[in-house]
């Protein structure tokens, strides 16, 4: 079955950092500076539509949802803990990239 796919609807998040996550944002800025290739994973997650709906050529409609935010795995109260959490963050968000960037 060939599916190629029409994006029917999407909503998009602007890449705006939350003001409630000062340490987390600091860690993300460090990532951007020190590891731009890995920061790209977070940037893609931010720019991916929240809902992607598409139709296969047998008229089946599929819908996929982006889950979580770029802060989801950054549960930290010290900058070193935030840096440590960045590895988990990139790992988990990259799973999402594996799925919805395929479409």
CB of 33 to other proteins, least distance (A): 8
What contacts 24+ positions apart, CB below 8 Å, involve 21-26?
21/71, 21/74, 23/76, 23/77, 23/78, 23/79, 23/82, 24/71, 24/74, 24/76, 24/82, 26/79, 26/82
**Which residues contact other proteins by CB under 8 A?**
1, 3, 30-31, 34-35, 37-38, 40-41, 44, 79-80, 83-84, 86-88, 90-92, 94-95, 97-99, 101-103
CB of 77 to other proteins, least distance (A): 14
Which of 12, 26 has the CB closer to other proteins?
26
């Amino acid at each position: 079955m060939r599916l190629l796919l029409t994006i029917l609807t999407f909503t998009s998040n602007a890449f705006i950092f939350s003001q409630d996550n000062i340490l987390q944002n600091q860690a993300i800025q460090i990532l951007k500076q020190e590891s731009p290739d890995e920061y790209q994973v977070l940037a893609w997650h931010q720019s991916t539509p929240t809902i992607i709906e598409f139709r296969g050529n047998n008229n089946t409609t599929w819908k996929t949802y982006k889950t979580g935010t770029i802060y989801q795995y950054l549960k930290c109260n010290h900058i070193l803990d935030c840096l440590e959490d960045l590895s988990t963050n990139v790992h988990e968000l990259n799973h999402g990239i594996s799925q919805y960037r395929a479409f």
